């Protein structure tokens, strides 16, 4: 039965052992008190668009009964107009949500992001958007976007575009993630669209750099000259890693994180399971690849094909040794250049377009004919060997027949390979 909520009456109400108890005010319909195991909270309750809406006002002791009653009048008036006060609170909270907070929610929601992608996103947040991390996302305007895009473009147009694409993704995520009780997005506008409306995106040509045929010999020799010494016990591992990428066209992380579980030396295949397009990728091993992987296997110290010299995890940094190769050979390259070189060579050898795509693990969703072709790894063995033979010919490299019989010294800190000839 409703009763006027006063301090004396509320103080006399016992805390329930289980659940909650509700007490209604006799003076104002919709004003009440919710009593839990440890707290007494004033509430306002009414119907908004046919649905019951309950709004917490505050705890008894912090609010007096009269203060809570006055607050309830204002809330009930809003509800009578079809306004849900909870939506207003939620909207205000969202509009004050910082860019960093949205980014953290984004990472939680995007469970399939690869470590490298997360690393790149964090780098953007900490480098190009650092001064915006604590700024409310709703306060980031179109003018701010345009200005920051232009500023970043003075140093790197590609990084400027990349930063804004990432920021666009965060705004799109926020628009879908945060909504009111009616399902309406609380972030209605994506300010990054200003760049499209004004055609301000930089025109960045896609990199087309490859190692040319006449450059393969000096590059190959410089890679082969990477030898372990007291200063570095990772050189030969990085040497073999660079060669694997060139001879398979694998992506940077796919090769670096490869485990022995996915290398079948008997079937002469390797498999990559955590690929960019989320499709398992199995490749045949050419004779050259099989021989040097077999040698690495005899000196393996953990589950990774390219383990770190301390035996913990796989290699993650190759730039120092790459710089040595570039200096010695005069051939400038990136890891992805090796992948492009592999595919360029494949195309130059008149290998079928379907085989090239299979070797590169590119999706063929829009190609109807491709759907009828069985992706049999054995059908790729001959193309794979042709590519290997071409590279070795350009490099003037001739493996010796007795190489696998050479004495070798097993060491935790050194991985000798069959290519040490």
State the average pLDDT over residues 200-228. Answer: 90
**Averaged pLDDT of the chain:** 86
pTM for the predicted model, two decimal places: 0.61
Burial of residue 370 (number of CB atoms within 10 Å: 0-12, 13-18, 19+): middle
Report the range of poorest mean pLDDT among 6-20, 204-218, 219-233, 365-379. 365-379
On whether the 213-405 domain is CATH 3.20.20.150, my answer is: no
State the average pLDDT over residues 362-389. Answer: 71
pLDDT at 187: 81
pLDDT at 367: 53
Output the DSSP codes for 89-127: HHHHHHHT-BHHHHHHHHHHH-TT--HHHHHHHHHHHHH
Please write the tens of the pLDDT for every residue from 91-140. 777 777 899 999 999 999 998 888 888 999 999 999 999 999 999 998 99
pLDDT reading at 419 higher than 70: no
Please write the tens of the pLDDT for every residue from 246-274. 999 998 888 999 999 999 999 999 998 87
Collapsing DSSP to helix, strand or coil, 354 comes out as helix
Q: Which two tokens stand for residue 57?
A: 């006002």
CA distance 169 to 102: 11
Confidence of residue 50 (pLDDT cuts 50, 70, 90): confident
Query: Are domains 7-83 and 213-405 of this chain identical in fold?
Result: no
Please write the tens of the pLDDT for every residue from 312-330. 889 888 899 999 999 999 9
State the average pLDDT over residues 353-371. Answer: 69
Taking Cα atoms as reference points, which of 176, 271, 220 lies closest to residue 421?
220
End-to-end CA distance of the chain: 95
CA distance 239 to 229: 13
CA distance 104 to 96: 15
Domain boundaries, the chain: 7-83, 99-197, 213-405
Taking Cα atoms as reference points, which of 201, 121, 202, 116 lies closest to residue 167?
121
* Run of H or E residues at 57: strand 51-59
Q: Which two tokens stand for residue 356?
A: 């090239």
CA distance 287 to 271: 17
Give the CATH number of domain 7-83; options: 3.30.1130.10, 3.10.20.740, 3.30.160.390, 3.90.1150.10.
Answer: 3.30.160.390
């Amino acid at each position: 039965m409703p009763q006027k909520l006063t301090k004396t009456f509320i103080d006399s109400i016992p805390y329930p052992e289980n659940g909650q108890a509700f007490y209604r005010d006799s003076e104002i319909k919709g004003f009440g008190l919710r009593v839990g195991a440890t707290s007494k909270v004033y509430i306002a309750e009414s119907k908004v668009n046919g649905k019951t809406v309950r709004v917490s006002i505050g705890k008894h002791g912090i609010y007096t009964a009269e203060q809570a009653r006055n607050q309830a009048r204002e809330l009930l008036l809003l509800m009578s107009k079809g306004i849900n006060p909870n939506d207003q609170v939620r909207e205000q909270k969202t509009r004050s949500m910082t860019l960093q907070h949205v980014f953290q929610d984004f990472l939680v929601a995007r469970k399939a992001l690869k470590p490298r992608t997360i690393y790149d996103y964090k780098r953007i947040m900490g480098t190009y958007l650092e001064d915006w991390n604590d700024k409310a996302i709703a306060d980031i305007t179109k003018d701010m976007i345009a200005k920051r895009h232009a500023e970043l473009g003075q140093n790197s147009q590609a990084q400027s575009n990349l930063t804004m694409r990432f920021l666009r993704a965060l705004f799109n995520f926020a628009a879908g993630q945060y909504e009111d009780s009616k399902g309406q997005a609380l972030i209605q506008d994506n300010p990054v669209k200003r760049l499209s409306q004004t055609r301000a995106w930089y025109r960045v040509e896609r990199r087309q750099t490859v190692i040319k045929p006449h450059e393969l010999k000096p590059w190959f020799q410089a890679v082969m000259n990477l030898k372990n010494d007291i200063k570095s016990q990772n050189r030969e591992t990085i040497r073999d890693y660079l060669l694997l990428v060139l001879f398979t066209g694998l992506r940077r992380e796919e090769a670096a994180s490869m485990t022995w579980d996915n290398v079948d030396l008997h079937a002469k295949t390797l498999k990559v399971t955590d690929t960019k397009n989320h499709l398992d990728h199995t490749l045949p091993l050419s004779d050259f690849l099989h021989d040097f992987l077999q040698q690495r296997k005899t000196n393996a110290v953990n589950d990774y094909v390219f383990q770190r010299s301390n035996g913990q995890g796989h290699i993650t940094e190759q730039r120092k040794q790459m710089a040595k190769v570039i200096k010695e050979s005069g051939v400038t390259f990136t890891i992805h250049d090796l992948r492009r070189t592999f595919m360029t060579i494949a195309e130059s050898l008149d290998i079928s377009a379907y085989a090239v795509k299979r070797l590169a693990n590119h999706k063929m969703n829009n190609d109807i004919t491709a759907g009828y072709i069985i992706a049999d790894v054995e059908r790729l063995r001959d193309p794979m060997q042709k590519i290997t033979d071409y590279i070795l010919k350009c490099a003037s490299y001739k493996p010796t027949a007795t190489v696998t019989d050479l004495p070798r010294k097993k060491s935790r800190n050194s991985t000798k390979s069959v290519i040490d000839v």
